[in-house]
Structures are given as structure tokens and as C-alpha cells.
Amino acid sequence: MATDIKSDKLATANDLSKMSYGNFINGKWVKSVTGKTFTSYNPANLNLSLGTFASSDITDVNNAVEAANNAFKSWRKTPAPVRAEIILKAGYLLETRKEEIAQIMVQEMGKVIKEARGDVQEAIDMAKYMAGEGRRLTGQTVPSELPNKFAMCVRSPMGVVGVITPWNFPIAIPSWKIFPALVSGNTVVIKPASDTPLCAIKFVEILAEAGIPDGVINLVTGSGSVVGMGLVDHPLVRAISITGSTDIGSRVAGRCGELMKKISCELGGKNAICVMDDADMELALEGALWGAFGTAGQRCTATSRIIVHEKIYKEFCHEFKAITSSLKIGNGLNPDVAIGPVINKEQLHSINKYVEIGKKEGATLLYGGNILNTGEFANGCFHEPTIFSDVNSKMRIAQEEIFGPVTAIMPVKNFAQAIEVANSTEFGLSLSMYTQNVNKAFSAIEELESGIVYINAPTIGAEIQLPFGGIKKTGNGHREAGTTAIEQFTEWKTVYIDYSGRLQKAQIDSFEDLEN
Ligand code: UN1
């Protein structure tokens, strides 16, 4: 549940730009060994910076992993309910500093202020939920096939966990990984996205303030190839949890496979809303608008396809264009703005390249399509919300993750074809069905091939108390959030206790023989 807390000490772009930040290793903020730095820029105005950050090398990674490994010895022995108390305190601190962090997030990542508050809220919710896990961390007890023998399995922490996080949910996603990893008794080294290091630093500052012991959480900023892969390769790192593109995720997963490390990937999506001819039209339009253009389409759950029954196709396209044209674009700190900038210039051009691809493929450009770079948009990374219609499954804009404010409307003849089209990509994160027919709703739940299914709601907006993740190329079978988050960060230890006082041979001795 969201509660708005106002802070009177709001950061301004001016004071932020002067700051310089290091890595957090063994409870201290330290410079990178080479002293090299990089800058984080405000995507709404690239002339503004959020400060300079450590451009770390492998020695920094090694120092962080060693600190985490040393801290593991006592953290794993700290009772889980005690570990959980620190996480709960971090949740309350996040609550107190919600507005301050949300405003920093808008400036560093670009999402609009309401959504930035939601991002912090997701971490607060996760802290409270995972604090509860500290008094569960459930195992299994089962009967033995032999008398006077006890059989159970318990969870063990893994050791040092490497956490690699993206820029699109720069507080929520670190919380999805770090809180369950910590409550399970692991120690962590986080490598945040280079577009949002300040948000990750704020998150770690809060854990430090909550009383996390030295070395239990460490942060190393820098490139994916040096810091990220350095973590993956380090022999003391037992597990990696990564959210990012399918391309990078599969490289990391491949390397973890060679090294026999536990790896959980949360990667790309090509999510769709299906709108049937019996749907509540207003509701579907509103949902599609939020799903497609919320966070400027930069969610792995974003609605990048809208599959519409041919009977209502024309009307839907007409209305969707009209409501899209009413969205205000601009700096996310302005509360009237619905669409902020995209993360950086490179991403801006990659999004716009897909507009060109869509046109060449023969889709109809129904709305938008342009980079905005004059007037108030001159120094930022702004892209118009863009709608293609008459899109079919063969087109690249219907298959590839664009990660920007671009959506494709696809006509279908009936319910069966809607399901077929919805399932026709290599991803499987989030799919949605708008219908008022209960039979169709339940058929959709059964037939849609994705880790998350929505009925009469858009593809975005998952809650933290249920598993989050996808099938096919979206992931490798793991789920974040909910109780399943714990699975990523624990090993099962199976325990047999024989209190018969004699050798009992499973599968060989029969109960009758043992009785005599
Ligand atoms: C993401 O885009 O990586 O379900 C996460 C949602 C959010 C999380 C998105 N709660 O849209």
C-alpha cells in the first residue's frame, strides 16, 4: 500500500552534480583502486549530471567479494528473524525517504514522479514481505520408510551472491534480489546499471543505516564486462541473479553454466493485451494506454502488442490514437507529465530505428514515430509515444523487444487466433486478455504461454507477494518475488536422523524384518 511521505530536504540537480561517489566495501565508501570515474546524466536534460561514480576494475570486485565472503561466516549464523529485523528497518527507512529517493530517481532514470514513488513503494513492500520470511524460510518434513528414522530438508544460504540490476526499476529490482538473498543468510555484492548508480547507492546507504553488518552488502559500480563478468567469474561467488536483456542474460547464464553456478535470469518480454469483441472498450483502452506508455514503455512487462478482434478493430485504433495524443511528454518531475524521457541517447536511437523498421515492413504508422529534440526537449532523450497498426506476427516490431514507447496493434479474426498471435513470440513474460466472458477468461488463463497472465488488466503492475518471471526466452525457470524468491538464494540440505540404534538399509531392509 502506498503512503506519500513528503520530505523537506529534496535534492536538486545542482547539488547532485557536484557529488562524487565510491564503492561500498566492507561497510565503507571507498574510491576505486584506479581512481577512474564515470558520470550519470539526467535523461531529461543531458547537461545535468547526478555526480561521478567509481569506474571499478577487477581488484575492486575482488575486494568486495572477499569482504562479502568474510562477512558470510557470521551472517549465516545470525538467526533469520534477527536478519529480518534489519530488512524491516530498511523498509521503514525507505518509507521515510520515499519522496527524496523518488525525486532522485526521476532525475537519474527519467520515469515520472508518481511512478518513481511506486518504484520505491515496491521496495518497501518487498522489505516488509521478506522480513516476514525471516520467521518462515520453510523446509519439509516427510515420513521415513524405516522405523525410528526422521527425514527432513532445510534451507542453507549459498554464500556470496552477485546481483546485477537494470536501470528501469532502479530501487525495486535491487530490493527483489537483495532482501530475499539477505534474509536467507547470504551476503551480497551488487553491480547496478551504469545509468542509475545513484539510486543503488541510496538503497545501500539505507541498508547501512538500518544496521547491516560490515561486508554483508557491498556495491561496486562500473562496466558490465569488467565488474559484472568479474562477479560471475569469481570462484567465491556462488550464485548470480540478473535482470537485463536476453542477449546479456544468456551470455551470463552460459558462463554460469560452465562454472556450475546457480543463475537466475529475468530477461526480455514482448507482452500483449488481447481485446475481444465483448470486452469493456473503455477499460481496455485505458489499460492498453498505461501498459504501452507507462514508464515510456521501458518495462520488461510493457504492452508492446495489442491484439484486437476485427469487429472492434477500427474503433479501437481510432480511440487509442485519440487518447495517446492527450499524453503530456516532458520532465517527470512535472506532475502533469505522463511520459518522461527514455534512458539515454543510444536507447533513443535504437527505439527510433524500430520505427523505421516498422514502416519498411509495411505497418501503418498510426501515431507518433519521432524523436523530440527542440524547445524543452532539446537536451534530453525524448521519443513520441508511437502506435503502429496493421501489424502481423511476422514483422520484427511484433517479435523483438523495443523497450520504448512503441506499441503494435494487430487485428485478429477470433479468440483462437488472438491466443495464437499472443503466443507467437520467443518471449513469455506477461500476457493479458480483455473479455467479459468467463469461459474465454478461463480458457485464456490456460492457453496463454507466459509466466504472468492478467484478465481485464494490462500487462504491467505485478505485486510482490506472488512469483514474477517468465517462460521461453524471458528466463531460465526461476521466479523472483513471493516465496519463490527464496528458491534462488538457498540450497536444500536433506537430513536423515536414524534413532533406531542399528544400521537400517533404505530400499533393502523390509519393515517386517526390522520388526523381528
Ligand atoms: C520490469 O520491468 O523489469 O509488473 C519489472 C510490473 C512492475 C515490475 C516491472 N511491478 O510492471
- Within this chain, do residues 117 and 141 fall inside the same structural domain, yes or no? yes
Which residue, 455, 483, 502, sits at the end of a domain? 455
- Within this chain, do residues 432 and 343 fall inside the same structural domain, yes or no? yes
Contact at 8 Å (CB) between 32 and 200? no
Nearest to 306 by CA among 438, 416, 458: 458
- Within this chain, do residues 361 and 335 fall inside the same structural domain, yes or no? yes
- 107: CA distance to ligand 1 center in Å? 19
Q: Which pLDDT value is given to residue 12?
A: 55
Write down the catalytic residue from 100, 133, 266, 384.
266
Rounded-to-integer distance, Cα 147 and Cα 516, Å = 12
226 falls within a domain: yes
| Residue-wise pLDDT tens digits, 154-171 | 999 999 999 999 999 999
β-partners of residue 382 are 372
- Catalytic annotation present for 115: no
- 335: CA distance to ligand 1 center in Å? 21
> Using 50, 70 and 90 to split pLDDT, how confident is the model at 9?
very low
Rounded-to-integer distance, Cα 373 and Cα 327, Å = 17
- Within this chain, do residues 107 and 216 fall inside the same structural domain, yes or no? yes
Structural domain total, the chain: 2
- 512: CA distance to ligand 1 center in Å? 57
- Check if 186 has its Cβ closer than 6 Å to any atom of ligand 1: no
Look up residue 390 and give its three cell numbers.
496493421
- Which ligand 1 atom minimizes the distance to the CA of 452? 4
- Which ligand 1 atom minimizes the distance to the CA of 463? 10
The domain spanning residue 363 has which CATH number?
3.40.309.10
- 166: CA distance to ligand 1 center in Å? 11
- Within this chain, do residues 299 and 361 fall inside the same structural domain, yes or no? yes
- Within this chain, do residues 223 and 289 fall inside the same structural domain, yes or no? no
- 460: CA distance to ligand 1 center in Å? 6
393 falls within a domain: yes
- Within this chain, do residues 155 and 279 fall inside the same structural domain, yes or no? no
- Within this chain, do residues 422 and 295 fall inside the same structural domain, yes or no? yes
> Using 50, 70 and 90 to split pLDDT, how confident is the model at 443?
very high
DSSP string, 385-435: -EEEES--TTSGGGTS---SSEEEEEEESSHHHHHHHHT-SSEESEEEEE-
- Check if 299 has its Cβ closer than 6 Å to any atom of ligand 1: yes
501 falls within a domain: no
- Check if 196 has its Cβ closer than 6 Å to any atom of ligand 1: no
- Which ligand 1 atom minimizes the distance to the CA of 460? 11
- Catalytic annotation present for 381: no
| Residue-wise pLDDT tens digits, 463-510 | 999 999 999 999 999 999 999 999 999 999 999 999 999 999 999 998
The three-state DSSP-derived secondary structure of 81-137 is: HHHHHHHHHHHHHHHHCHHHHHHHHHHHHCCCHHHHHHHHHHHHHHHHHHHHHCCCC
Q: Which pLDDT value is given to residue 95?
A: 98
- Check if 461 has its Cβ closer than 6 Å to any atom of ligand 1: yes
Q: What angle do CA 410, 414, 418 make, to 5 degrees?
A: 50
- 375: CA distance to ligand 1 center in Å? 32
pLDDT at 61 over 50: yes
- Within this chain, do residues 136 and 82 fall inside the same structural domain, yes or no? yes
412, exposed or middle or buried, with CB in 10 Å at 0-12, 13-18, 19+? Answer: buried
| Residue-wise pLDDT tens digits, 186-213 | 999 999 999 999 999 999 999 999 999 9
Mode of pairing for the β-strands spanning 364-367 and 427-428: unpaired
- Within this chain, do residues 329 and 382 fall inside the same structural domain, yes or no? yes
108 falls within a domain: yes
Rounded-to-integer distance, Cα 219 and Cα 132, Å = 25
- Within this chain, do residues 86 and 161 fall inside the same structural domain, yes or no? yes
507 falls within a domain: no
Q: Which pLDDT value is given to residue 3?
A: 38
Residue 194 makes CB contacts below 8 A (sequence gap 6+) with 38, 40, 53, 221, 222, 223, 224
- Which ligand 1 atom minimizes the distance to the CA of 294? 11
pLDDT mean across residues, the chain: 95
Contact at 8 Å (CB) between 97 and 206? yes
Residue type, 98: K
Alpha carbon distances (Å) from 293 to 58, 115, 136, 334: 39, 12, 38, 17
Residue type, 497: I
| Residue-wise pLDDT tens digits, 291-311 | 999 999 999 999 999 999 999
Write down the catalytic residue from 199, 256, 274, 300.
300
- Check if 474 has its Cβ closer than 6 Å to any atom of ligand 1: no
Give, for ligand 1, the residue of 105, 119, 169, 464 to mutate: max count of ligand atoms closer than 8 Å to Cβ: 169
Alpha carbon distances (Å) from 104 to 98, 223, 314: 10, 22, 42
1 falls within a domain: no
Give, for ligand 1, the residue of 122, 165, 270, 300 to mutate: max count of ligand atoms closer than 8 Å to Cβ: 300
- 469: CA distance to ligand 1 center in Å? 10
Encode burial over 375-409: b for 16+ CB neighbours within 10 A, e otherwise. Answer: eebebbbbbbbbbbbbbbbebebbbbbbbbbbbbb
451 falls within a domain: yes
Of all protein residues, the one whose alpha carbon is nearest to atom 11 of ligand 1 is: 460
- Within this chain, do residues 144 and 98 fall inside the same structural domain, yes or no? yes
Look up residue 369 and give its three cell numbers.
514515430
Residue 314 makes CB contacts below 8 A (sequence gap 6+) with none
The domain spanning residue 63 has which CATH number?
3.40.605.10
Q: Radius of gyration (Cα) for the chain, nearest Å?
A: 25
| Residue-wise pLDDT tens digits, 411-437 | 999 999 999 999 999 999 999 999 999
Domain encompassing residue 198: 58-267+475-493
In this prediction the pTM is: 0.95
32 falls within a domain: no
- Measured in residues, the chain has a length of 516
What stretches of 207-359 adopt beta strand conformation (E)?
217-219, 237-243, 262-266, 271-275, 303-309
